[in-house]
């Protein structure tokens, strides 16, 4: 691991993550929510995401969300690799959890 460690927030645009990886010559960046690490994005993750179409991404996100709760609770839309998740209850905790699950895919 390199120092200092560079972390990105849960809602950070993937372009900013890629730019930081290239500028700082790192292979992975922790994704944080406040002071808590909720995931890690690697170069391999980015390449894998670029190689999948929107339908495959949506199916993977729906699968992860179904493991968390009621399968049809969330709506998932993917356009050019960007995922949008809708929740009928609009609960802040569930929104955080769903975003974390989707980000790990």
Class of the CATH-defined domain 8-49: alpha beta
Read off the pLDDT of each residue in 49-53 and give the average, rounded to a whole number. Answer: 80
Domain with CATH 3.10.580.10 in the chain: 8-49
Above 70 in pLDDT, residue 102? no
Above 80 in pLDDT, residue 31? yes
Average pLDDT across the chain, whole number? 84
Per-residue burial over 7-40, b = 16 or more CB atoms within 10 Å of its CB, e = otherwise: ebeeebeeeebeebbeeeeeeebebbeeeeebbe
Alpha-carbon dihedral sign for residues 13, 97, 43, 20 = positive
Q: What is the pLDDT of residue 101?
A: 64
Read off the pLDDT of each residue in 87-102 and give the average, rounded to a whole number. Answer: 74
Read off the pLDDT of each residue in 15-41 and give the average, rounded to a whole number. Answer: 92
Read off the pLDDT of each residue in 1-19 and give the average, rounded to a whole number. Answer: 86
53 vs 90, more confident: 53
Instruction: Determine the Cα–Cα distance for residues 52 and 6; give it in Å rounded to an integer.
Output: 27
């Amino acid at each position: 691991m390199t120092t200092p460690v560079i972390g990105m927030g849960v809602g950070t645009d993937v372009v900013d993550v890629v730019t930081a990886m290239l500028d700082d010559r790192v292979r992975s960046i922790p994704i944080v929510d406040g002071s808590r690490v909720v995931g890690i994005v690697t170069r391999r993750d980015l390449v894998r995401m670029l190689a999948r179409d929107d339908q495959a991404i949506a199916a993977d996100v729906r699968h992860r969300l179904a493991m968390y709760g009621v399968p049809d609770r969330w709506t998932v839309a993917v356009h050019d690799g960007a995922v949008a998740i809708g929740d009928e209850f609009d609960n802040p905790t569930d929104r955080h959890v769903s975003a974390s699950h989707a980000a790990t895919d």
